[in-house]
Amino acid sequence: MIDINLLEALVVFSECKTLSKTAEKLYISQPALTKKMKKLEEDLGITLFIRKKNKLELNETGKFTAKYASRIINNLKDFEKNISSYDKSLTSFNIAYCSDIPQFVLEPIIKEEFNDYEIKYIMDDDEDFLNLLDKREYQLAVTHYIPDSNKYYYVKCGHESLYLSVPKGHHFETKLEISLKELEKMAILTYTNVGIWNLKDNIKYQKIHHLIQTDHSTYAELIATTSYPCFTTSYFARRGIQIPKRVSIKISDPECSFDYYLVCLKGEEEKFKRLFDRICENTVS
């Protein structure tokens, strides 16, 4: 069987073109590299090089062999990566959340069902979540849209709407609903790490004067000690959870209401059956 190290040396030589540069890149001496190339020719029973005075070049067969060797090396790397990923998947998995409320609700359920697993997560805009599943970098994702391909398995797991929280006595206090248009140029406390609620592509949302906060404790302190409006959601409103001395008003724009979907690659739903069995369309609502 051909030594993979010999093939790697051949590929590097095909890229560097000279023995000196190849030896330098491989951190070996030129005589050692020359022996590797000779050994590869002997193992294959084929001449791969044109030998000139003080110079070594690949012949046509050598060029073909180098290209083929590169494919073999890449396939071997994929093999090792996939085997490692599979082994790791037996005791761990990663999940991506598009919002903090799904994480808040689902995390206790997940820990209960997979208490012996190592679980990692990210929270972000879910634009790239399906790609993360395809690459198997993440095994579960919570999105605010239905996957548009039959290669995914999903269940609806909830719904959430954006609300505005204002201090009592505010001129919006008696409103039942409000639009983003009415909030234009208004100064509103906004916490950054909220996934899809950043509404980054919504022009109406961008016209609000956001007082951006990156530290949650500072954000909470400002809500408690200032009269600035802030955002909250239907999850708290449905449970009668109000920020002290404040009133919550639903934002009526359709893009401020989302359904949530728990997604995995089709074929992996059996692994997460215990979780999917506990999820219904109102779990995160």
From first CA to last CA, the distance across the chain in angstroms is 60
Per-residue pLDDT, 81:
83
Which tens digits make up the pLDDT trace of 32-46?
A: 988 999 999 999 999
Residue ranges of the domains in the chain?
4-88, 98-285
**Whole-number Å distance between alpha carbons of 150 and 277:** 20
Going by pLDDT thresholds of 50, 70 and 90, the confidence category of residue 84 is confident
3-37 burial string, b = 16+ CB within 10 Å, else e?
eeebbbbbbbbbeeeebeebbeebeeeeeebeebb
pLDDT at 91 over 90: no
3-state secondary structure of 207: coil
pLDDT at 66: 93
Predicted confidence (pLDDT) at residue 67 exceeds the cutoff of 80: yes
Please check whether residue 58 is in contact with residue 49, taking contact to mean a CB–CB distance below 8 angstroms.
Answer: yes
| CATH code of the region 98-285 | 3.40.190.290
**Cβ pair 127, 119 in contact under 8 A:** no
Partners of 269 in the β-ladder: none
Q: Say if 4-88 and 98-285 have the same CATH topology.
A: no
Q: Which CATH architecture has domain 4-88?
A: Orthogonal Bundle (1.10)
Place of tokens 């084929």: 46
Query: What is the distance between the alpha carbons of residues 263 and 130, in angstroms, rounded to a whole number?
Result: 9
Q: Smallest Cα–Cα separation from 97: which of 89, 84, 109, 107? A: 107
Q: Letter for the amino acid at 61?
A: T
Tens-digit pLDDT profile for residues 98-140: 999 999 999 999 999 999 899 999 999 899 999 999 998 899 9
